Amino acid sequence: MSYYLLLSRSITHAQRMSRTLERAGITARFFRPPMGLTDRGCSYAVRIGGDYLSAAMDCLRREGLAPMRIFRAAGDGSFSEITM
């Protein structure tokens, strides 16, 4: 199953993104991102299912909570950055 990681600048931002997405019916869990995805020590990631990226981004933009970067997880454990 594919999924996306939405990188945030802080734990507070990740919590707000996660809470906003959960209220919209999109399962979203926050955690520390895998090494190599960020050079910022305070970053967090929010994980969403592969089918929900468009809806999640619309929801987050409406609330002014856009992520710093977006990554798609590949089946082999690697990540590729997505631009939107």
**Of the candidates 10, 26, 31, which has an alpha carbon nearest to the alpha carbon of residue 60?**
26
9-13, 43-47, 66-70, 72-76: which has the minimum mean pLDDT?
72-76
Residue 41, number of CB atoms within 10 A of its CB = 6
- Mean pLDDT over residues 8-18, rounded? 95
Whole-model pTM: value is 0.91
> Which class does domain 3-82 fall in?
alpha beta
At 62 the three-state DSSP class reads: helix
Q: How does DSSP classify residue 53?
A: H
- pLDDT at 40 > cutoff 70: no
- Mean pLDDT over residues 43-60, rounded? 96
CA distances for 49 relative to 29, 39, 41, angstroms: 10, 24, 25
All structural domains of the chain with their residue ranges: 3-82
- pLDDT at 50 > cutoff 70: yes
The predicted structure's pLDDT at residue 34: 85
- One-letter amino acid at 54 equals S
